Structure 1
Amino acid sequence: MDYQLIWVLLIAFAVFAYVTLDGFDLGIGILFPFEKKQENRGKMMNAIAPIWDGNETWLVLGGGGLYATFPEAYSLLMTAFYIPVIVMLLALVFRGVAFEFRFKSRDHTNHWDFAFAAGSIIAAAMQGAMLGAFIEGINIKDGHFIGGAFDWISPFSIFCASAVVVGYALLGAGWLIMKVDGPLQGKLRAIAKPAVIWMAANLAVVSLMTTYLNPAYGDRWFSTPNIYYLAPIPIVTVGLMFWLWHAVKRREKTVFGITLSVFFLSYLGFGITLFPHIVPPVISFRDAASPDNSLSFMLVGAVIFLPVILGYTAYAYYVFRGKIDDAGYH
């Protein structure tokens, strides 16, 4: 068995699960500044109250799995991204505290609302900035990081940060459109319309800029016969964006599903661009992997616990599948 490939796919799955599941509840925090009524903000938070902390399980799984299975990659990436990782984690802590305290501290609701929104925006922005810096590549020499503490800040990484914030906001809007009715749903549809345009523009610019960052990236997509095999990914993505634009006007459940599909195709394109590098531009996942006997031992645990995690996650979403109102789910 190719344990190295299996584990890189499992890590990729865990990261995508985190991005999509925690992405929409971060998106709800990003949307908070656009809604001033405390009653509606309460509905927005109640829409994710039973599931938000479970979504972050995938962050632990992705980070812990990377440490155990690809320790060299973990060491280099954590060194290069030490500051944005710490800022992201602090933002997630602030956001979690705000989530719990908002319902208990009636005299300081506005302060906790600010903490919830700020934590969500900052966490999303840090994830986007790290994504941009990851695509640009890490400065490595003789297996060691030789860059500076702020190498992760660049025009490209800032643009990626903006793209992730807008994408998460659109995911959050899609989730809430399914969960609420009335004027609040109408306001969310109005917010989603410009977000679709912004997201489409971000995807186009980031995709084109990526192909120019490294000649190998451009060759991966535009050389023959690759261009014929890979062309369906951007073509389908464009079609989904047009569908999403029309769906936000009158659909409920399809908005979230289409946005998830766009995220998946974007993530797939990102993986195709960088494969097989786990630390661009020089270290492949095979260079950074633990010994096969370690990978095979850990795979036993993954085979046992991954279905459990997937099972209770699916069950939680099934139980709380209904609409939300002032009293909660119904």
Structure 2
Amino acid sequence: MIEFWATVLALAILLYVTLDGFDLGVGMLFPFAPDEAGRRQMLASISPVWDGNETWLVVAAATLFGAFPLVYSILLSAFYLPLLVMLAGLILRGVAFEFRYKTERFRWVWDAGFVAGSYAAAFIQGTAVGAIVQGLPIENGAYAGEPFAWARPFALLCGVGLCIGYAMIGACWIAGKAHGELRTFAFGALPRLLGALAAFLAVVFAWSLLIDLPVLQRWIERPLLLLCPAVGLGAFIMLMRSVRRGDDRRLFLAGAAIFAAAFATLAGSFLPYILPFSLTLRQAAAPEASLDFLFWGAGLFVLPLTLAYTAAVYVIFRGRVRADQGYH
């Protein structure tokens, strides 16, 4: 049962990062849209799915709370302040969706809130990942660091990197959903974002070697892990070719494959640890009876229903948005 809930947690995180990642990316690109009609198209492209995308963040948090409570307590202690900022940013985004259409004079306020919330959520998520990869101070099963121990340079760089990645996959989404000037804008942004992403990956790899991250030793011990970056590189090349050809059919799938390859690389490097390299899945898991109890409710019914809902929404609202379409 531990393996089942570890798989659920991995799936929830991957779906959240990919799906909410692109709509956060749309928010980050929002101020650079060519005009108000383009901004309305951007909002219309994500309005049917953005709230469902965030459901996977709830699923991941609930899985941690129920199946791996020790990890939940450690992460909440380590990232209490940034998580509050992240949640405030996500709430501000949701409010801005509605309120920007109710006013003209103060529309710029809600647009700024939408953009700021997108950047804040993305940056904090990336910083948290960087801090976890670098290692959290844990003693006797509890967080033993300072309130701002997460704000180390390597972790902050990872925050910037995730912002670039989200903006990249957001541009892929816009290119496949928009018309006219907005579609041209997305294709124009992608080469710069791909260049920035490649530069970030090169810098973070060099920095990892410089500080001798323990996770790099796993690549030597488990050479099969190199297949994951190879898949990511293949997706990166496919994405660049699609951009050159102006072909939007595979853009989003290629962007999603890059995220999946990065996630698989990290997950494969961590296992059997859930917090590298101090806490294993088995050490962090709730009692077997609790895991069984969760399975008969959340695992057997809630998870399949959430997956079905997510799939249905993307099928129903597939295709491009109209050039004159707004949020409602």
- Trace 1:165-314 onto structure 2 (pairs within 5 A): 165-210=163-208, 213=211, 216-223=214-221, 226-227=222-223, 229-249=224-244, 250-301=246-297, 302-314=299-311
Shift of 1:210: 4.1
Q: CA offsets, 1:153-185, max 9 Å, x none?
A: 111111101110011101111111111121211
Per-residue CA deviation, residues 171-221 of structure 1 (Å, 9 max, x unaligned), is 111111111121211111111111011112223333454466556422210
Distance 1:173 1:32 in 2: 10
Secondary structure of the 1:50 match is coil
Indicate conservation of the 8 Å contact 1:177/1:253, yes or no.
no
Question: Aligned residue for 1:66?
Answer: 64
Q: Is the 8 A contact 2:225 2:269 kept in 1?
A: no
**What is the CA–CA distance in structure 2 between the aligned matches of 1:144 and 1:37, rounded to whole Å?**
50
1: distance between equivalents of 2:66 and 2:127? 24
CA distance in 1: counterparts of 2:35 and 2:132, whole angstroms:
39
TM normalised by structure 1 equals 0.94
Output the TM-score relative to the length of structure 2. 0.94
Q: Is the alpha carbon distance of 1:174 and 1:105 closer, same or farther for their aligned partners in structure 2, counting shifts above 3 Å? A: same
C-alpha separation in 2, matches of 1:145 and 1:183: 50
1:136 Cα deviation after fit: 0.8
State the alpha-carbon separation in 2 of the partners of residues 45 and 174 from structure 1. Answer: 15
Q: Following the alignment from structure 2 to structure 1, what is the Cα–Cα distance between the partners of residues 91 and 213?
A: 39
Amino acid at match of 1:202: F
3-state SS, counterpart of residue 194 of structure 1: helix
Report the AA paired with residue 150 of structure 1.
F
Q: Tell me the distance in 2 between the aligned counterparts of 1:58 and 1:213.
A: 33
Structure 2: stretches of 5+ with no match in the other structure: none
| d(CA) in 2 for partners of 1:166, 1:19 | 13
8 Å Cα contact 1:77-1:279 kept in structure 2: no
May I ask how many residue pairs the two structures share in their alignment? Answer: 324
Paired amino acid for 2:262: S
Match of 1:139 in 2: 137
Comparing 32-41 with 94-103, greater Cα deviation is found at 32-41
Cα distance between partner residues in 1 of 2:212 and 2:117: 33
1:6 Cα shift? 1.2
* Structure 2 counterpart of 1:91: 89
> Structure 2 counterpart of 1:110, which letter?
W
Distance 1:187 1:17, change over 3 A: same
Q: Is residue 200–residue 241 contact of structure 1 (8 Å, CA) maintained in 2?
A: no
The percent identity for this pair of structures is 38
**Deviating 4+ runs (over 6 angstroms):** none
Query: Residue in 2 aligned with 1:324?
Result: 321
Match of 1:315 among 299, 312, 316: 312
Q: Deviations over 1:227-283 (max 9, x none)?
A: 2x2232222322221221121231112111100000000000010111122222211
- 1:49 deviates by 0.8
- CA distance, structure 1, for counterparts of residue 81 and residue 133 of structure 2: 17
Amino acid at match of 2:12: A
Partners of 1:95 and 1:115 within 8 A in 2: yes
| Pairing partner for 1:153 from 151, 154, 159 | 151
Work out the CA distance in 2 between the residues paired with 1:67 and 1:211: 34
Cα deviation for residue 106 of structure 1 reads 2.5
Q: Which moved more, 1:27-36 or 1:73-82?
A: 27-36
For residues 117 and 201 of structure 1, the distance between their equivalents in structure 2, rounded to whole angstroms, comes to: 24
C-alpha distance in 2 between matches for 1:207 and 1:222: 15
- Which residue type is aligned with residue 125 of structure 1? F
Structure 2 equivalent of residue 17 of structure 1? 15
Q: Find the counterpart in structure 2 of residue 126 from structure 1.
A: 124
Matched residue of 2:239: which SS? helix
User: Contact conserved, 1:91 with 1:118, CA < 8 A, in 2?
Assistant: yes
Alpha-carbon distance in structure 2 between the residues aligned to 1:161 and 1:45: 24
Asked if the contact 1:170–1:259 (Cα under 8 Å) also holds between the matched residues in 2, the reply is: yes
